[in-house]
């Protein structure tokens, strides 16, 4: 994973967007009265077998429906929810907006010593990583600090203690072998995860296991990884008890191999503090106390010692969309609500009401009954969006000529997709589609795609397809849902 990948638009694409995007008429809700013939024959066949489908294609130049199938039915959208989060974030701030992380103390260091606690304050940087913690340590060292006569005190403000908000995140509090279920927080490193590097040096029989950029892990590490060909698969699990997090490893890795593995922290705020304290020690800065968390370190934060800025918002949104990163999506959701209200939202579901309001503003006049967003990531079965809701957001963003280049650049063109199943199809599908996908498997299968279609003239169409299992088709194979959507969209592209 390249932690600092830059998402840049080429001059050619920017020029094309500048020509295509000036239609700045007010983006009213796509009218149900303007419905065109369905045009989704393959998807309609799935509904005949019991699947539930909401689909819509909208011509952004002619401002009319191209094809529709139950466009107002609100279904579980899974990660298509991130399209709403991306649009709302870029509407709230310019693409180059950043989020700060600071080190503070009650008073200025004297003779290389910080008297009292060193306060770590997060500003909602969803992409904070270990290299950023090293940058904070370097600034501290450059200021001549060699000792902290207190604790590393990590603030939970401005979000507070959110707890777990989805079934997956609650289940991971005690044990997990995944990274997607890390809980959002005002400060969390590596997307709220422990980053574990497993490396097999030449000639070794056991692999080295360390932090990815932090040096030794600051939590207990048990087990070992053998170096062999054809051995059992590598396993990395995080478990938690009254003493905190623990990483357990096993299995094998091939000689000369190297694997970087992320596992969700049980408490990203505390985990970030542990990593910072370890890094400070390696940088020659001794911390006499341990690591503790607090809501707000009132009275201990008067003196700014170090400050780093996040990568730009455009890159954060790009990572969220391209990697379908749940942690970034839900931290951005909390940031959006905090910025809109000036106070901390009570929960992720509470913060997500700002996303629902953004959908409503993008679809003026549309019926809001049944519109539900409880998570900006879509890591919940409670979200309910229709194809018309998503197309409304896509239309709204298209007509925002200041933000559209950044927004459009976060979608994936199938020919360049990481996943092989998206790289199947004809030239129109591979090169004239820019999309985001969404999937869930329980309690019914969910598959969706949404984004933009390019006409041969260079113009744009917006589209959304949501497929939920239903009836005898509760579990619908991904290839079946995608194959039907791709066939219908290719037929539409052939006419445009």
210 exposure class (CB count in 10 Å sphere: 0-12, 13-18, 19+): middle
If you average pLDDT over residues 241-267, what whole number do you get? 96
Q: Given this model, what pLDDT does residue 38 score?
A: 55
Residue 365 confidence class, pLDDT cut points 50, 70, 90: confident
1 has pLDDT over 90: no
Q: How far apart are the C-alpha atoms of 153 and 119, rounded to whole Å? A: 5
pLDDT recorded at residue 196: 98
pLDDT exceeds 90 at position 251: yes
The per-residue pLDDT for 473 is 84
Q: Is the pLDDT of residue 16 over 50?
A: no
- pLDDT of residue 3 exceeding 60, the answer is no
What's the mean pLDDT in 105-121?
Answer: 96
The pLDDT of residue 26: 41
How far apart CA 384 and CA 73 sit, in angstroms, is 9
Instruction: Decide if pLDDT at 65 tops 90.
Output: yes
pLDDT higher than threshold 60 for residue 150:
yes
| pLDDT score at 39 | 85
**Tokens coding 429:** 């599908």
Looking at the DSSP assignment, which residues form a beta bridge with residue 75? 385
The end-to-end CA distance of the chain, in Å, is 37
Report whether pLDDT(155) > 60.
yes
Confidence category of residue 25, pLDDT binned at 50, 70, 90:
very low
Q: Which parts of 122-243 are beta strand (E)?
A: 147-149, 152-155, 175-176, 193-199, 208-211, 221-223, 226-227, 235-241
Report pLDDT for 299: 84
What average pLDDT does range 204-211 have in this prediction? 96
Q: With 0-12 CB in 10 A as exposed, 13-18 as middle and 19+ as buried, what is 26?
A: exposed
Q: How far is CA 353 from CA 164, 168, 313, 359, in A?
A: 18, 21, 21, 10
- pLDDT band per the 50, 70, 90 thresholds, residue 366: confident
Q: Where are the domains of the chain?
A: 11-96+313-494, 100-161+268-309, 190-264
Q: Is the pLDDT of residue 143 over 70?
A: yes
Residue 73 has pLDDT above 60, yes or no: yes
Q: Does the structure show a pLDDT above 80 at 458?
A: yes
Query: Is residue 443 reached through a cis peptide bond, with omega within 30 degrees of 0 on the bond before it?
Result: yes
pLDDT tens string 169-180:
888 899 999 999
100-161+268-309 shares the fold of 11-96+313-494: no
Least confident of 15-24, 74-83, 86-95, 377-386: 15-24
- The architecture in CATH of the region 11-96+313-494 reads 3-Layer(aba) Sandwich (3.40)
Q: pLDDT band for position 5 (50/70/90)?
A: very low
CA pair distance 20, 137, nearest whole angstrom: 47
C-alpha 457/C-alpha 152 separation (Å) is: 59
pLDDT at 9 over 80: no
At residue 160 the predicted structure's pLDDT band, cuts being 50, 70 and 90, is confident
Residues above pLDDT 70, as percent of the chain: 92
pLDDT tens-digit profile of 467-478?
999 988 889 999
pLDDT at 248: 98
Is the pLDDT reported for residue 221 higher than 90?
A: yes
Determine the topology of domain 100-161+268-309 in CATH.
Answer: 3.50.80
Is a pLDDT exceeding 50 seen at residue 415? yes
Structure tokens of 167? 């079934």
Does 427 have pLDDT greater than 60?
yes
Residue 23 has pLDDT above 50, yes or no: no
Q: Helix, strand, or coil here: 167?
A: helix
Q: Is 372 a residue whose pLDDT tops 60?
A: yes
User: From CA 101, how far away is CA 140, in angstroms rounded?
Assistant: 13
């Amino acid at each position: 994973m390249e932690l600092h990948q830059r998402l840049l638009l080429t001059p050619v694409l920017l020029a094309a967007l500048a020509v295509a995007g000036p239609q700045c008429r007010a983006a009213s809700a796509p009218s149900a009265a303007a419905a065109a013939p369905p045009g989704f024959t393959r998807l309609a066949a799935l509904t005949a077998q019991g699947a539930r489908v909401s689909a819509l294609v909208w011509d952004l130049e002619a401002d009319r429906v191209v094809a529709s199938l139950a466009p107002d039915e609100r279904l579980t959208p899974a990660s298509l929810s991130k399209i709403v989060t991306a649009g709302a974030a870029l509407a709230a701030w310019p693409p180059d907006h950043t989020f700060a992380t600071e080190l503070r103390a009650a008073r200025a260091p004297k003779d290389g010593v910080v008297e009292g606690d060193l306060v770590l304050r997060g500003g909602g940087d969803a992409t904070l990583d270990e290299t950023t913690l090293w940058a904070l340590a370097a600034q501290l060292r450059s200021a001549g600090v060699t000792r902290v006569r207190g604790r590393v005190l990590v603030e939970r403000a401005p979000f507070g203690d959110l707890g777990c908000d989805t079934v997956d995140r609650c289940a991971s509090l005690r044990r997990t072998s995944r990274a997607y279920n890390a809980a959002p927080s005002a400060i969390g490193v590596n997307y709220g995860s422990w980053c574990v590097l497993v490396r097999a040096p030449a000639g070794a029989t056991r692999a080295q296991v360390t932090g990815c950029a932090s040096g030794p892990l600051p939590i207990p590490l048990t087990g070992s990884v053998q170096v062999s060909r054809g051995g059992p698969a590598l396993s990395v699990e995080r478990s938690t008890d009254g003493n905190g997090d623990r990483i357990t490893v096993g299995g094998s890795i091939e000689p000369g191999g190297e694997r970087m593995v992320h596992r969700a922290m049980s408490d990203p705020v505390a985990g970030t503090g542990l990593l910072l304290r370890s890094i400070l020690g390696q940088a020659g800065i001794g911390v006499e106390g341990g690591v503790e968390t607090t809501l707000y370190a009132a009275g201990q934060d008067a003196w700014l010692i170090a400050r780093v800025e996040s990568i730009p918002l455009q890159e954060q949104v790009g990572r969220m969309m391209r990697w379908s990163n749940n942690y970034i999506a839900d931290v951005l959701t909390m940031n959006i609500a905090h910025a809109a209200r000036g106070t901390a939202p009570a929960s992720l579901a509470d913060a997500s009401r700002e996303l629902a309001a953004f959908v409503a503003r993008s679809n003026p006049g549309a019926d809001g009954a049944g519109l539900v967003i409880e998570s900006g990531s879509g890591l919940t079965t409670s979200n309910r969006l229709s194809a018309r809701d998503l197309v409304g957001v896509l239309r709204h963003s298209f007509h925002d000529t200041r933000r559209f280049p950044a927004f459009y650049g976060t979608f994936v063109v199938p020919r360049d997709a990481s996943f092989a199943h998206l790289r199947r199809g004809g030239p129109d599908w591979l090169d004239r589609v820019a999309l985001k996908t969404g999937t869930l498997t329980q309690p019914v299968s969910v598959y969706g795609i949404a984004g933009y279609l390019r006409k041969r003239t260079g113009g744009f169409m917006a589209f959304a397809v949501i497929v939920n299992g239903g009836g005898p088709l509760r579990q619908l194979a991904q290839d079946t849902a995608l194959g039907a959507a791709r066939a219908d969209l290719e037929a539409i592209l052939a006419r445009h």
